[in-house]
Amino acid sequence: MKPPVSVALLAIAAVSIVLSVASTPVAAPVHVLSVPSDLRGASSTNPAVSNFSAAVNRLVTLAAVAGGGLLSLVWARVALSWFSHDSMKKVLAKERARDALIGTLLFVGAISGLIWALANWVVTGT
């Protein structure tokens, strides 16, 4: 027995909310190569630098939220096709699911810094 459309839409909404919340960074990432506070110099106490850093962190957060929203839309489209009664839409849903999974993995890699770390490893060898 197939679930009713309202259950499918409720499941899509729940997945969309989880994806958009899960992709939002909670705190600024801790860098591996952080500089001790006594070596940072006077620029770290400069309010202009602090304001700029806060603005950049806010932009990163907004970009992550927007990306999470886009991912939820992509997966919602896949889910709507997946639960369709039309067999052609189900075949297309499998292709869309593959594309959505690849896009999601690329997005998570970009947000987490994995792509940057891989590029750094390829270029510098370390």
Choice among 63-67, 100-104, 111-115 with the minimum mean pLDDT: 111-115
Residue 103 confidence class, pLDDT cut points 50, 70, 90: confident
In the chain, % of residues over pLDDT 70: 64
Contacts 24+ apart (CB under 8 A), 7-10: 8/79, 8/80, 8/83
Please write the tens of the pLDDT for every residue from 25-49: 545 454 444 555 544 544 457 788 8
CA–CA distance, 118 with 122 (Å, rounded to integer): 6
